[in-house]
Every structure is written in structure tokens, then in C-alpha cells.
Structure 1
Amino acid sequence: MERQNVQSSNLRSIGYDQTTQTLEIEFNNGGIYQYYNVPQIIYEGLLNASSHGKFFHQYIKDIKVAKITYK
């Protein structure tokens, strides 16, 4: 999945697959996680948030997730 880099102290990049509603986030520690059944509006909100980390903690962190890699 292609991700866009973001300026954040916690998140490095964000990607989204509209077909499967899968949100993929790469964290600055190297971990990459996929969040499932995420509405596109949540992805857009995260991408455009003034604080990606705050948005993540408020709207995304409790969504079903799978860790796909780490460093």
C-alpha cells in the first residue's frame, strides 16, 4: 500500500485502501499497522489533522488492528 509521509512526532506515513477500507500507518519507531473497516472520512481527517497523533488517539487507536512489520 502506498503511504504519504506526514509531519508528526509519532507517525511517519499514512496510507489507505478505499476498496477494503484498510488504513495503514507507519510509526516513527518503524512499526507498520493496518486498521480495518476504517471509513474514508477518518483517513481524510487523519491526513488533514493539525495533530496527527491526537487525531489517531481520539479516533483510530481502538479500531481492530494487525501489526504487519516492525524494526
Structure 2
Amino acid sequence: MDMIRIHSGKLRAIGYDASKRILRVELEDGCTLEHLNVGESLWRNLKNASAQWSYYRDNIEDEFTVHRVSNKAPSGKNPLDDLFGPT
């Protein structure tokens, strides 16, 4: 599934599998969730929303069965540390 990188509220990436009707979202804490049976029109609306985090919370977050795909926590490492050292 192709993911689109975004920065909206707690959302960091979104993707959709039309054949399986699965919406995947990656949150700022590194957690990845899959929402089942999401229609393509909701995906398009989310992708094109001016406030994607608000649209997600209002229309998707609690409305669909969800599976946690990843509990991956961010490493906490700043990529600039490799260039400039930790602050």
C-alpha cells in the first residue's frame, strides 16, 4: 500500500487499499492503524481535506473496526544529530 506523508495534527501518513477497503494511518507516536471497510469516497475526502486530522477524528477514527498494525515507537533520535551532534 502506498502511503502519503502528511503533517496534520497527529497524522503522519495515510494510505488506502481500494480492493480490500482498508485505510491505513500512521500516527506521530509511530503507531500504525488499519481501519476496515472504509469506502473510497471517505478516502478521497480524507486525502483532500484541508484539515485531515479533524476529518479523520470526525468521520473515521471511531466509526470503523480498527486493527493496530504497529506499536513502533519513534526512536527519539533527531536526524540532524548525525550532522551536528546532539544538543
TM-score range, shorter chain: over 0.9
Residue identity in the other structure for 2:67: A
SS in 1 for 2:54: helix
Aligned runs of 1:7-46 on 2, under 5 Å?
Answer: 7-46=7-46
Q: Match of 1:64? A: 65
Q: Which has the higher contact order (CA 8 A, sep 6+)?
A: 1
Aligned length: 71
The TM-score with structure 1 as length reference comes to 0.94
Q: Flag structure 2 segments of 5+ consecutive residues without an equivalent.
A: 74-87
Superposed CA RMSD in Å reads: 0.8
Q: Which one has a bigger Cα radius of gyration?
A: 2
List structure 1 segments (4+ residues) > 3 angstroms apart after TM superposition: none
**Distance between the aligned counterparts of 1:21 and 1:35, measured in 2?**
8
TM-score normalised to the size of structure 2? 0.78
